[in-house]
Every structure is written in structure tokens, then in C-alpha cells.
Amino acid sequence: MVEGVAQGVRQLAGRYQVGELIGRGGMADVHVGQDTRLGRRVAIKLLKPALANDPAFRTRFRREAQDAAKMAHPTIVRIFDAGEETVRDANGAESLVPFIVMEYVDGRLLKDIIAEGPLEPAEACRIIEQVLTALEYSHRAGVVHRDIKPGNIMIASNGQVKVMDFGIARAISDSSATIAETSAIVGTASYFSPEQARGETVDARTDLYSTGIVFFELLTGRAPFRGDNPVAVAYQHVNSEAVPPSSLNPRVSPALDAVVLRALSKDRFERYQSASEFREDVESAAAGSVPARKQVAVSDFNATLFGVNPSSVAGSEAALRQLTVDEDERLVRTQNRPPVAWIWAGIASMVVIIVAVVFWTFNLQPQQLAPNVSTEVPSVTGQTFEDASAALDKAKLQVTRVDESSTTVAEGVVLRTDPEAGTTVAPNFTVKVYVSSGQVSVAVPDVTRMTEADAINALKAAKLTYGTTTLSYSPDLAQGVVIGSDPAAGATVAGGKPIREGSTVNLSVSNGLVNVPDVTGQAIAAANAALSPLQLNVKVTVDTSCTGGTVASQSIVGDQAQKSTITLVYCGG
């Protein structure tokens, strides 16, 4: 639906030209664009039209986009503009398309980098330090991101880290969207904090927990909690402890283990209390020292942004409580307490109810939560495209095939999907299926007239394999010079199959000789025609003692040096 809208919307707000699609997410598509008024390249995010049907979302979205646009920092993708565009479909129906105009970043998504495997610990620390710098800036501005994940982090071509979508996640989570719409927006629960999974109010420490998940994934190449569905993953966030990253990647130091595990504490008051504290410990661990646990004082700023630890109070409040307790001790209690048996019966009833509700909730399938309005992308990696199409069709999803070369995966086998497996999307959502086309096709280079050694080097440079050399006759190429190749120069197909990296190419090399045929008995004209391609020095002598015009004798025959002289005697009597 979004792609169809993008095709209909070629210009937004009278100044932004919408270009090609460069990214797709659960809640929006991203296009490259051009700000015609300022003449600069921008990224344009077109949100799902379904979101625009909620007036509460539109109001919150505008407010949060305005707050996010005020943030200017090298580690944060700037928001230049936001609004809504009214479009008319083929049936004449009008709909609103919310859009965001952002800074264009020439680089790669962090999730694509992680998909290639774990990073070196030093590089992982560098990236996380910049993410935490962005969060420190946003938290001081009073903005909580709420959706930190590799899909919202860009690595620019110069190595600069850029965090995206500040404020947008808040607008979505605060809106009155339906369960189906929320599922489509959130996509995956891999980066939820325990308080998000429990449906509690979140604060800035939620961002720090999600950053810890990203840090774990950078160091190990996988998320700490995985499951068959988002509910199972959310359950692990609440009830399961993460393993140390070093158990999955021996290159991770104990100091980094300590930093990651503290960031992933279930109790938000046991986690890092600020992005700067988290970043300082990352820097210490990267330098090889185990960070010391600091006692963080509760300031007015932290109390506002992070909440106050119920187990700790400030000095003035503690003194006030002590005075209150002392005063209460002087009073005579006159209120009757309820019987102890009633208290325990009430507690037991509440425990039974809570256990039953939790058991029922975590045994629900996504389809039960939102019947006919959401579906989960199945895992089809490693299957043939035909089998993958059948599985996605069964899940009521549309399929778009994208061929991509691979040096390790056989041709016709699925490499990955976008969105990835486990993502919850709306029915009939179009899933891109990336299919291996095998190794990259290679054209055979022209090695004619090269020396044999140079020709072999040229084949290696083209990522082809040198096979064998056959010595052949040549009238003009010196000994050791290449006459041709098999497959021939410029060929991309051999034997009905594509020529790929590693394919074998054989060479034909001059032996410096010509093979002179026996032309005796032939007419002089036919003999000349046979000898002419050999580029010999031909001399003709007439024998008048015989008749017929045929060659009576020749001076040389068989293997001879190039440019040799041959004398023909023919009957001319």
C-alpha cells in the first residue's frame, strides 16, 4: 500500500521530490528525495496511511516530530520537516499520507552489518559509545527514544554513527492504534525492556536496556533472547537472564561482560542510570579495566527523567520520615487490623489470578491476539524459492523476488527475507525474498597476443582459473605468445552455463612453427591458395619437360620455421 502511495506522490509539500525506495520498515518506507527549494538531498519517510486515520496519532506525531527536530547533534539524524499529504487513489478516494523529511545519510544500517557476523570488540565499543552520546544528548533534551535497535542506527561511509527516529516511537506508542497496527509498527520484541514487555511506563533507562541488547548483538552476532514468536521473546526479557557475551565469542573480555550484563539488568534501578555513566564504563572496559560500580546520587533531573528508586530516599526526605515515625510511635493505635487469615486468603487469591492470567497470555498465538489482522513472516532461509513462495503464500503474504550473487549459497536458494523472519506484519504485506544467483558472472578477458605468463596473470585478476596450455601453429605470432583462449575472449557462457568466478580457461599458445602441407600433384593455383595463409616466401620454377600445369615437386614440407622459403616446380611444357 505504501509503495503504491509513493508511486502516486511524486512531490510533497510543493518542494520535496520523492525518488527511489531505499528502505522498508514495519511502519514506513524510506525514499531518497530532493529538496527543490534548498537544492539538497534528503531522505523521505512515508508512514503507513492507516496511521493517519487516528486523529490522536496525528496530534502526537506532530508534537513529537517538532521536539525531535529541535535536536542537533552529529550522532543524531536531523529531522527537517514533517507533515501530511492528501492523495487520491485510482478509485478517486482521498487519504492522508504522513511523511517525515530527514537528513540523508550515505551509509549502511547497523542491522545489515551485524548480519555479517560479530564485530571486533574495539569497533563494537566505538559504535556503542556514539549511540550513548546521542542518547545522552536526547535525554538531556527530555526526549526518550523508546525504539533503540540496529534498524534505527546508521553507520555513515566515514564511520560516523547516526541514530534515527527520535520521538517517532513515542508518538506511535502513545497513540490509540489498534493491536494490529501496533504489531505492524513495532515489528519485533527483540529489543524490548522488561518494563515495556510488562506494559509499564517507560523512562530513559529503557533506552539504555535496548542499547545493551544492541551491544550484546554487536559482540556476538545474535540477540540474547530469541523465540518462536514475539510473546516468547518478551517473556524471556522479563524472566530470563542473559548469558555473558564471552560464552558466545571468546574475544569478549570479562570487563565487557560486566558492562553488558549490568545494562541488561531486569530492575531498572540496577541498570546504568544515565547514558554518560554507561559510556564511561564502555570506555574503561575497552581500555582493559573492569569498571567500578558507582553509587549515583539522585538529582532533581534524574528524578524527573528516570524516576526515584523506591529503596533509596534523599537526606531531607529520610529526616522527615524519621520525624513522622517518631511522632507516630507516640500515638496510640485505635484502628482495628483485619484478621490475619483474611489477609493471607486475599494474597493467595491474587497470586492464583495473576498466575492464571500470565499463563493464558503467554500461551496465546499472535493470530489469537489479532485474528485476521496480523501475520508473522515465516523463516524460509535455506529453502528453494519455490518452497519459500509456497510458505509465504500460506501465511497470506505477497512475494517479490530479488536475485543476489553469493559465493557460498547455491543458485536458487533463499538468502534472507525483508522483513526478516519473525516480524509481525499485516496480511498481504509484500515480502522481499533474496535468492542466490550463484557466483557473479565473469566475461573472459582478451589475452590474445600476450605472453603466456601475462595471460595467466590476467585470468587470475578476473578471478578465473588457468587450466592448460596447448601449443599450436601460427604464421605470425612468436613462440610463447597466446593465440586464443577456450572459452573465447568476451564469452560469459560456456557449455550452456554461465562463466562464474573460479571457472577454468585454457590457452592456445604459438609454438613458433607452421605446418607446410604437401601440395604436389595439385594445380599451381590451388597450391598457391593452400600455402598463402602460412605467409611463406613462395618461389615458382617451370619444368617444360612435363605438361598439365600441376606441381611436380616442392622444397619443404611439414613443420617449418615461420616465414620460410618454399620452391615449387610445376609442369608448364
What residues are annotated to the active site? 147
Beta strands in 6-135 (DSSP E): 11-12, 16-24, 28-35, 40-47, 79-88, 94-103, 107-109
For 173-244, strand residue ranges (E) read: none
Q: Residue 532 and residue 105: Cα distance in Å, rounded?
A: 66
**Contact criterion met (CB below 8 Å) for 241 and 247:** no
Residues 161 and 289: their CA atoms lie apart, in Å, by 25
Q: Which of 26, 23, 31 is nearest to 5 (CA)?
A: 31
Rounded to whole angstroms, the Cα distance separating 24 from 2 reads 10
Q: From CA 154, how far away is CA 332, in angstroms rounded?
A: 65
* C-alpha dihedral, 334 to 338 to 341 to 345, nearest 10°: -150
DSSP SS3 for 453: helix
Q: How far apart are CA 136 and CA 213, in angstroms?
A: 17
- Please name which of 34, 57, 162 lies closest in space to residue 105, comparing C-alpha atoms: 162
Q: Which three cell numbers stand for residue 147?
A: 525504539
Strands 161-163 and 107-109, how do they pair? unpaired
Pairwise CA distance, residues 503 & 486, whole Å = 11
Contact 392, 399 (CB under 8 A): yes
Amino acid at 424: T
Dmax over Cα atoms in the chain, in whole Å?
158
What separation, in Å, do the N-terminal and C-terminal C-alpha atoms of the chain show? 94
Cis (ω within 30 of 0) for the bond into 487? yes
SS3 463: coil
Instruction: Count the neighbouring beta carbons within 10 Å of the beta carbon of residue 198.
Output: 11
E strand spans, 197-280: none
